[in-house]
Amino acid sequence: MAGNGVADNRLKMTRPEFNNRFIARQAILDRESNCLGYELLFRDSEENRAVFEDASQASIQVFDSAYLFGISSLCGESKAFINCTEQVLSSDFVRVLQPGRTVLEIVETVSAEPGLVKTCERLKAEGFAFALDDYTEDSPAAPFIGFVDFVKVEVERTSAELVKSLRTRMAPGAKLIAEKVETREQYEMMLGLGFELFQGFYFFEPQVMSTPSLTPARINSIRLLQATVNEKLNFNDLEAIIKQDPSLCYRLLRFINSVEFYHRSSVQSIRHALALLGERNTRRWALLTGTVLAADDKPRELRRSALLRAKLMETIAPFASCGEYEGFLVGLLSLMGALLDSSVVIDQLEIPVTVRAALSGKDGRLKDLLNVVTRYERGEWSECAKLAGTLRLGEIELSSAYVEAAGWVSRLPV
């Protein structure tokens, strides 16, 4: 309880180790598909739940990991949403993170007792925002409804009557977050009910399955993708494509002058720039650039998700005895249908046989690796751990690679 000192003495913050630990994130998007923040997800890798003496210890591990790796690495410029129990809210652990970047999610089991309410008011005065998690009218945490900045409601528990009731009791300016939005139909329903924010995987699916309208910019982007996925990279063809598009020239120069690929010598030509990058980095640049430009009309978060998945698969591929380039390609193209609203373009790309097999669902190590990553993204920890074990992919490597990939994406101009 707040003020008695017991919770602070019991809750011990320890430097996080990656052993038996996964940390991931799930985007929270607005009505225009812009990313407001990410809920940080933590689970022990052996079971599909946090394995601690109590839920408070699980929350503390999330704070600990977010503090160690930094919110910017995990969330870019977006906010971090972190579940909090009564004990965590009553302790000083929440103050290890930046107030303006952190949203404290009051879990549904928390009782709104006067001492705890005062503690939350002090935290809010310091700049922390609050969300009410998994709202139901009979939840012990329901009395916080007029205090919090966000109210999260699961799709299956939502009705027009509930939304109307919430609106009359929520604080001015507070927003509704629809949780577990998995389909376009659910998304449109929650839009119609007036929800401002959405959490789930609905944006990973194509809107329609038809040939996309091919503007000149999109045609060039697809040509760039095609030239890049060819087994033998032809720098002359690549140079010709880039020279036809000013935006590609600009992006190439930005990329080569970034911190990661900075060269002291000035770039003399497009061909010189490609030579400085080398084949591996040229393929990487062309793939991510072609993807971003081809899907310029799609939500930014979807493009980021594709690039994060690609980078993650590239990093862990060697641990599963797969090629880095094949891993990157499978990760990227696995979301291309959603990015382009069509599978037609992918079918027309001349990609390696192993990559096409994995994308079409045929058994193999690349397909297994993709399954590990998709389960990780969804927080399906038990299945993720089992699959990773069959590939001899260590939990330390997987967790480290995810944080690295998230940081890499946050630094990209996408």
48-65 pLDDT, tens per residue?
343 444 566 666 777 777
Do 185 and 279 lie in one domain? The reply is no
Domain boundary at 156, 177, 204, which? 204
More confident residue, 298 or 134: 134
Write out pLDDT tens, residues 24-52. Answer: 888 999 998 899 999 988 764 444 343 44
Which of 303-306's residues contact partners 24+ apart within 8 Å by CB, and which partners?
303/339, 303/414, 304/35, 304/409, 304/412, 304/414, 305/27, 305/204, 305/335, 305/377, 306/331, 306/332, 306/334, 306/335, 306/336, 306/339
- Residue 132 reports pLDDT greater than 80: yes
- Residue 16 reports pLDDT greater than 80: no
For the chain, helix, strand, coil in percent to 5 are 55, 10, 35
- Residue 345 reports pLDDT greater than 80: no
- Residue 242 reports pLDDT greater than 70: yes
Region 201-212 average pLDDT: 54
- Residue 236 reports pLDDT greater than 80: yes
Structural contact between residues 265 and 277, judged by C-beta atoms closer than 8 angstroms: no
- Residue 18 reports pLDDT greater than 60: no
Do 232 and 313 lie in one domain? The reply is yes
Q: How far is CA 358 from the centre of its chain?
A: 22
Write out pLDDT tens, residues 145-182. Answer: 999 999 999 999 999 999 999 999 999 999 999 999 98
Do 110 and 247 lie in one domain? The reply is no
How far apart are alpha carbons 344 and 135 in whole angstroms? 41
User: Which pLDDT belongs to residue 30?
Assistant: 94
Do 39 and 80 lie in one domain? The reply is yes
Do 236 and 160 lie in one domain? The reply is no
Q: Which residue segment(s) compose the domain that 235 sits in? A: 216-410
Asked which of 54-63, 100-109, 391-400 is least confident by mean pLDDT, the reply is: 54-63
What CATH code is carried by the domain that includes residue 294? Answer: 1.10.3210.10
Do 110 and 248 lie in one domain? The reply is no
User: Which pLDDT belongs to residue 58?
Assistant: 62
More confident residue, 86 or 66: 86
pTM above 0.85, yes or no: no
Position 351, amino acid:
I
